[in-house]
């Protein structure tokens, strides 16, 4: 069973790689800590809005030190459009202080230390591990969970369980880029509502591998039963 899932995962990885060879993180950042902050702000907020907010935030506070020294209330006002602004501003402030006090202003490069930072969960830590340090990473955002479930790569909707399932079947060196490509594919085709199954560009790749989309197969079976 696991071998079949590995084969399906490999086919999906290769298909998305051909479709979106240049896919990358959609959050805008220049410095590693900026990605950490942007990802914290992206919780229950679109990346497009986060990019607008972080442009203002990083212009007002251009260094990690300036963020650490800023009044939390001023950070709150800037990040308000991202929602949950009080919680996010507080964790950003604490995060900056911790990075300076414990890591000399540098980001740690491992899951245990990253997730010890205020407001940083496994999704954020994986994104940093993959994009900043070039390590294998599985970012279980909403697109990843939805699409991998539809493909049949996981039966869970719980981020930690989906991450565990994908670690077991994805080629490690392809895992981070695969997750970025899922975001593009999820926005363009495999949307949360009304996925464009009939025009799915990944469908042919799966069929060429002798595979198929589990969700599409179920919809076809359900339609036949209704006839």
As annotated, the active-site residues are 123, 141
Q: Say what angle helices 72-79 and 85-103 make with each other, to 10 degrees.
A: 130
Q: Say what angle helices 32-41 and 85-103 make with each other, to 10 degrees.
A: 150
Q: Long-range contact list for 126-131, CB < 8 A, 24+ apart?
A: 126/163, 126/176, 126/179, 127/25, 127/35, 127/39, 128/32, 128/35, 128/36, 128/39, 129/176, 130/175, 130/176, 130/177, 130/179, 131/25, 131/35, 131/176
Q: Long-range contact list for 98-102, CB < 8 A, 24+ apart?
A: 99/33, 99/64, 99/68, 100/64, 100/65, 100/68
- Residues for the chain: how many in total? 227
**H or E stretch covering 72:** helix 72-79
Residues 142 and 157: their CA atoms lie apart, in Å, by: 9
């Amino acid at each position: 069973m696991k071998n079949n899932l590995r084969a399906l995962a490999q086919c999906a990885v290769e298909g998305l790689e051909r479709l979106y060879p240049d896919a990358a993180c959609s959050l805008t950042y220049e410095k590693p800590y900026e990605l950490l902050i942007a990802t914290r702000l992206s919780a229950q907020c679109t990346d497009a809005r986060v990019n607008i907010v972080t442009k203002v935030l990083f212009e007002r506070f251009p260094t990690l030190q300036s963020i650490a020294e800023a009044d939390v209330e001023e950070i709150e006002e800037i990040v308000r459009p991202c929602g949950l602004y009080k919680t996010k501003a507080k964790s950003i402030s604490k995060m900056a202080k911790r990075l300076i006090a414990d890591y000399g202003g540098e980001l740690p490069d491992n899951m245990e230390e990253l997730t010890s930072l205020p407001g940083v969960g496994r999704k954020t830590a994986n994104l940093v591990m993959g994009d900043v340090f070039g390590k294998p990473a599985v970012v279980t955002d909403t697109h990843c969970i939805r699409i991998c479930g539809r493909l049949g790569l996981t039966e869970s909707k719980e981020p930690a369980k989906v991450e565990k399932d994908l670690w077991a079947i994805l080629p490690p060196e392809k895992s981070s880029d695969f997750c970025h490509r899922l975001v593009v594919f999820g926005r363009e085709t495999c949307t949360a509502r009304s996925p464009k199954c009939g025009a799915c560009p990944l469908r042919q790749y799966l069929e060429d591998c002798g595979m198929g989309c589990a969700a599409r197969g179920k919809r076809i079976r359900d339609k036949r039963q209704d006839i």
